[in-house]
Structure 1
Amino acid sequence: MILNGVLFDLDGTLGDHDGSVEAALGAWLPSIGVPASAENRALWEKITERHLAAWRRREIGYAEQRRRRLTEFLPLVGVSCEADELDTIFSGYLAHYDTGYRAYGDAVAAVAAAVEAGLAVAVLTNGSAAQQRGKLARIGLSSIASVFTPDDLGVAKPDPDAFRIACSRWGIAPGSVLSVGDNHAFDVLAARAAGLRAVHLDRTGAGPASEAHRISTLRELATYL
């Protein structure tokens, strides 16, 4: 089947989420009186993933998962706060995260190459709609008109239905869409389960090495277009 569209993941693929988290924690933790130690950063990441997973399962709302992250994290690092302070405290972290969010050096060119190849381009991301669209604007990719999030779809990756519904709303058959992302389970295996083609962007060389369609930079994506 002819390739008609490229469906990019956002965080870890087009935008440097991990780098933004690292920079944000380095600035935010000391501002609330907490050392920005490797231990505290790892604790934040562990707690974050647990509550984001609950949000991806649609068990809680996006704002609630943020509050639950703080409710669990803050007492463990010796910070007390009232429930009505949680949103304000999180806004401090978020301001640093948003300010530090950057595109990978290969991202804008890769999107441009797909467009120049005559392909439709969209983003399927597990973040909230408003935040993810804001990120795309911040990194110079607001021209990507089709942005699919769990807020829009009612389901999140790695559920294959996220891909199926996104392709249906996009108006492109799954078999003619290439999914590109850094999370092998979320962006590759789930995409294939929904009938899409998929390429694993393995920036760090973490594997799996058994993946036949694996690239280390978006500059290598051209061979699939």
Structure 2
Amino acid sequence: MLRGVLLDLDNTLVDQEAATADALRGWLPAIGVRFSPELLSLWDEIQERHMEAWRARTVTFGEQRRRRLREFLPLIGIGYAEEDLDEIFGGYLAAYESAWRAFPDVDAALAAIAAAGLSVAVLTNGSVEQQHHKLARTGLTGRVGPVFTVEDVGAAKPDPAAFLGACARWGLSPELVLSVGDRHDLDVLAARAAGLRAVHLDRRDEGPHDEPHRIRSLTELPLSSGL
């Protein structure tokens, strides 16, 4: 029987993509740059590259932010002093945090999980401080059970060790846990490699469409069948 639902956070519970876009729309004009979809794509690409280094624990969380700016600012024609990088990033961060919102289907999904008698937890590749802050800002603190991060379990998705570490700390055997997330590679394939069941939350219908356990909303979670 299914005992627990292990949820991803960014773009599963909280609309991180919309928050990033809204933050750039507010922050870029403040530093003299017009927002464009191309700059959003560039920011996302640079962010992922340097977040990967942080997840591999080769840089600190603060340093990955500085590295993102060192790469991004010259490409948009903005000069900077090294000692000002944290302050510059703070402008973006304030706009980003103010844009955090939970998806509309989260409340109903959490209620359904509770009604099914299942435990819930979060496994995220984010940092402890930021992700707990995100849950607080979106009203989800205390509603999603334990929160496991890279810093807690010592591994990042898609390493199966991240899922095994979360399950061990949660006190549930992997085969009794359903992983749910928006990234097929990180939240589905990696979870299955660790022995969990998994569902792909494909809000935008981007596929892969041959995934047999794919849902478009958290309200479609297969809680009774457990897959």
Cα shift readout 1:176-219 (whole Å, capped 9, x = no counterpart): 00000000000000000000000000000110011000000111
Q: Check the 8 A contact 1:129/1:151 in 2, yes or no.
A: yes
1:130 aligns to 2:157 (yes or no): no
Match of 1:94 in 2: 93
* Alignment-derived partner of residue 207 in structure 2: 207
TM-score, with normalisation over the residues of structure 1? 0.97
2:20 is aligned with 1:21:
yes
CA distance in structure 1 between the aligned counterparts of 2:70 and 2:160, rounded to whole angstroms: 32
Deviation, 1:157, is: 0.6
Q: Which residue of 2 aligns with 1:197?
A: 197
Q: 2: CA distance between counterparts of 1:146 and 1:29?
A: 35
Q: Could you say which residue in structure 2 is the equivalent of 1:149?
A: 149
Residues 39-83 of structure 1: per-residue CA shift (max 9 Å, x gap): 222211111111111112221111111000001110111111111
Look up the equivalent residue of 1:138 and give its one-letter code.
Answer: R
Deviation at 1:222, TM superposition (A): 4.5
The superposition leaves residues 117-162 of structure 1 with CA deviations (integer Å, 9 ceiling, x where unpaired) of 1111100011111111111122221112300000111111111100
Provide the rounded CA distance (Å) in 1 between the counterparts of 2:138 and 2:27.
22
Structure-1 residue corresponding to 2:65 = 66
Q: Which residue of 2 aligns with 1:42?
A: 41
Q: Which residue matches 1:119? A: 118
Whether contact under 8 Å (1:108, 1:141) holds in the other structure is no
Distance in 2 between residues matched to 1:60 and 1:131, nearest whole Å: 16
The answer on 1:140 being equivalent to 2:139 is yes
What letter matches 2:191 in structure 1? Answer: A
Query: 1:173: which partner in 2?
Result: 173
Q: Give 1:79's aligned residue.
A: 78
* Matched AA of 1:13: T
Contact map agreement 2:119 2:145 (CA 8 A) in 1: no
Worse overlay, 137-146 or 160-169: 137-146
Where in structure 2 are there 5+ consecutive unaligned residues? none
User: How far apart, CA to CA, are the structure 2 residues paired with 1:145 and 1:87?
Assistant: 32
Secondary structure in structure 1 of the residue aligned to 2:121:
strand
Which aligned segments of 4 or more residues in structure 1 are displaced greater than 2 angstroms? 222-225
SS in 2 for 1:15: coil
Count of residues in Structure 1 that have an aligned counterpart in Structure 2 = 224
Question: Equivalent residue of 1:7, what SS?
Answer: strand
The residue identity in structure 1 corresponding to 2:192 is: R
Deviations 1:91-123 (A, max 9, x none): 111111111100000012211211221111100
More displaced 10-residue stretch of structure 1: 37-46 or 98-107 = 37-46
Tell me how far apart the structure 2 counterparts of residues 85 and 108 of structure 1 sit (CA, whole Å): 40
SS at match of 1:26: helix
Distance in 2 (alpha carbons) for counterparts of 1:166 and 1:83: 37
Query: What is the distance in 2 between the residues matched to 1:201 and 1:44?
Result: 24
Secondary structure class of the residue paired with 1:207: coil
The whole-number CA distance in structure 2 between the counterparts of 1:90 and 1:122 is 30
More moved, 121-130 vs 132-141: 132-141
SS at match of 2:18: helix
Work out the CA distance in 1 between the residues paired with 2:5 and 2:78. 45
